[in-house]
């Protein structure tokens, strides 16, 4: 009998999870599956539950929630690539799920997990903090911090989606100043004044915003987008390129690939891993770990992982 542990973050994305247990029971018949469902109660609880699921011999551990929940569960599973990682995306960005072409509806995601096709993907760490999609520093990290603050402020209204994120961007766009960085990759060392630096293991931040469009999770290297200062009048064109996967062709974007990157800055400010803002000290050391997580994905996809 196949043991499936489903870890649900009840507050992720401001979306109701009341039907998750019922759908899981329908998709995984009791004659073939043993399904345990647990809800998180505090920050870090998803990680603890995933570690316990592994100890209990789960075949698959499923994260139901947003990028934060996915990161917590995924961090636990990198220790054992024999365990399959399933995702039911119910957050505001869903970066890893979208990159892997996992269905955005609960039933479709559970049916994919039942099918059980899995592949190994890469992951990265920045100063010891694990990430599966993107990490970085600069404007996007500061926006992430503002978005988190606004999400807490408006959580009672359910306002933690794209509209709130856009509001956070507009609030900061006119006041944020680019910073001076020294960037060290496997091939070169250079100085750059930059608006933001994103290290991509996946192509997108989430919501089909392709910040590192050439990134693959199975090539053992990062795709890094370094966004130079630009005129705000140019922002609409850049926004369109973020959506149509041509951002790396913009004249203000320097795109490089590397297995390792070190970023130095005298005023580093906020950084982020998988969209989670945090204060880290310079230098930022980012390292690739190839084929370290087994994730359940569609057998046939439009794009490679």
| Residues sharing a CB contact under 8 Å with residue 225, sequence separation 6 or more, in sequence order | 196, 197, 198, 200, 211, 212, 247, 248, 253, 254, 255
Give the integer Cα–Cα distance in Å for 88 and 165.
22
Q: Is 172 in the same domain as 224? A: yes
CA distances from 171 to 16, 58, 174, 176 (A): 29, 45, 7, 9
**Residue 276 main-chain phi, psi, to 5 deg:** -90, 110
Point out the domain boundary residue: 82, 116, 150.
116
Q: What is the mean pLDDT of each run of 10 residues along the chain (305 residues)?
A: 94 82 93 94 96 96 95 94 95 89 95 96 97 95 79 51 65 84 97 96 89 95 96 88 94 97 96 94 97 94 68
Q: Is 104 in the same domain as 133? A: no
Indicate whether 78 belongs to any domain: yes
Q: Is 151 in the same domain as 67? A: no
From 95, 59, 92, 65, select the one nearest 77 (Cα to Cα): 59
Q: Count how many residues are written for the chain.
A: 305
Q: What is the CA radius of gyration of the chain?
A: 19
DSSP code of 157? G
pLDDT of 155: 47
Indicate whether 295 belongs to any domain: no
Q: Are 205 and 196 in contact (CB under 8 A)?
A: no
Indicate whether 247 belongs to any domain: yes
Give the CA-trace dihedral at 1, 30, 69, 53, to 10 degrees. Answer: -40
**CB burial of residue 30 (10 Å; 0-12, 13-18, 19+):** exposed
Q: Is 136 in the same domain as 236? A: yes
Domain holding 168: CATH number? 2.60.200.40
| Residues sharing a CB contact under 8 Å with residue 299, sequence separation 6 or more, in sequence order | 115, 117
Residue numbers of the domain that contains 227: 129-287
Q: Is 105 in the same domain as 151? A: no
Give the integer Cα–Cα distance in Å for 46 and 302.
30
pLDDT of 15: 76
From 171, 168, 153, select the one nearest 205 (Cα to Cα): 168
**pTM score of the predicted model:** 0.91
Helix (H, G, I), strand (E, B), or coil: what is residue 110? helix
């Amino acid at each position: 009998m196949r043991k499936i542990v489903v870890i649900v973050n009840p507050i992720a994305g401001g979306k109701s999870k009341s039907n998750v247990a019922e759908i899981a029971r329908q998709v995984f018949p009791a004659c073939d599956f043993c399904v345990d469902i647990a809800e998180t109660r505090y920050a870090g609880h998803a990680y603890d539950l995933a570690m316990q699921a592994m100890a209990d011999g789960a075949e698959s551990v499923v994260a139901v929630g947003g990028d934060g929940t996915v990161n917590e569960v995924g961090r636990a599973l990198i220790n054992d690539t024999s365990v399959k990682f399933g995702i039911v995306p119910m957050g505001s960005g869903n970066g890893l799920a979208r990159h892997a072409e996992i269905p955005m509806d609960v039933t479709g995601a559970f049916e994919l997990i039942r099918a059980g096709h899995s592949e190994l993907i890469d992951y990265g760490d920045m100063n010891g903090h694990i990430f599966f999609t993107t990490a970085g520093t600069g404007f996007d990290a500061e926006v992430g911090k503002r978005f988190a603050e606004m999400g807490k402020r408006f959580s009672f209204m359910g306002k933690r989606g794209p509209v709130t994120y856009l509001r956070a961007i507009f609030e900061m766009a006119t006041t944020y100043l680019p910073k001076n960085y020294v960037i060290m990759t496997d091939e070169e060392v250079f100085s750059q004044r930059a608006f933001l630096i994103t290290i991509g293991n996946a192509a997108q931040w989430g919501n089909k915003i392709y910040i590192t469009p050439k990134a693959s999770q199975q090539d053992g290297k990062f795709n890094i987008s370094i966004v130079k200062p630009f005129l705000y009048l140019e922002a609409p064109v850049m926004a369109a390129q973020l959506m149509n996967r041509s951002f790396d062709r913009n004249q203000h974007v320097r795109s490089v690939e590397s297995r390792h990157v070190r970023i130095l800055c005298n005023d580093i400010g906020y950084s982020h891993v998988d969209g989670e803002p945090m204060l880290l000290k310079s230098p930022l050391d980012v390292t690739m770990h190839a084929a370290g997580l087994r994730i359940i994905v569609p057998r046939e996809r439009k794009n490679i992982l």
